[in-house]
Amino acid sequence: MARAGRARPGAGVLTPASASYAGPMVAVKVTVDVQGRAVAADKVADATVRSALTKMGREIGQKLSKVACPEHAKGPTDVRVHVSLSGDADLKYESCCEKLRGEVSRALG
Ligand SMILES: [Zn+2]
């Protein structure tokens, strides 16, 4: 049952080879829990974990780049994802209002 202490973020979220997207990107800052510290995705020592995290951030950014508030025509800003040891991703971002939050959760759902 226990997964031996290894971060496996985004399992089931990652889709292979979706590299053809060419629209504007939303920058997503990904951090991961390493022994109780938040470490930036590009600072992770394990290359497999690092590329999985980077990819996850890119894919979330792609999804969010299509999201805009129906009222204010703004997208989410200051997007951050923190991945816990168990691999759960916690998304945080700034939004203009509740309607945008609804659009974001629909886009990522
Ligand atoms: Zn709004």
Domain span at residue 92? Answer: 28-108
Please tell me the distance between residue 76's alpha carbon and the centre of ligand 1 in angstroms: 9
Please say if the pLDDT value at position 30 is more than 50: yes
Please tell me the distance between residue 78's alpha carbon and the centre of ligand 1 in angstroms: 15
Domain total for the chain? Answer: 1
Better pLDDT: 79 or 25: 79
Structure confidence at residue 77 (pLDDT): 96
Instruction: Please state, in angstroms and as integers, the Cα–Cα distance from residue 42 to each residue in 21, 29, 45, 66, 82, following that order.
Output: 22, 10, 8, 25, 13
Please tell me the distance between residue 103's alpha carbon and the centre of ligand 1 in angstroms: 10
Does 20 map to a domain?
A: no
Q: What is the pLDDT of residues 58-108, one digit of tens each?
A: 999 999 999 999 999 999 999 999 999 888 999 999 999 999 999 999 999
Q: Which residues share a beta bridge with 31?
A: 40, 82
Does 11 map to a domain?
A: no
Which of 85, 3, 5 lies closest to 39, judged by CA? 85
Please tell me the distance between residue 55's alpha carbon and the centre of ligand 1 in angstroms: 28
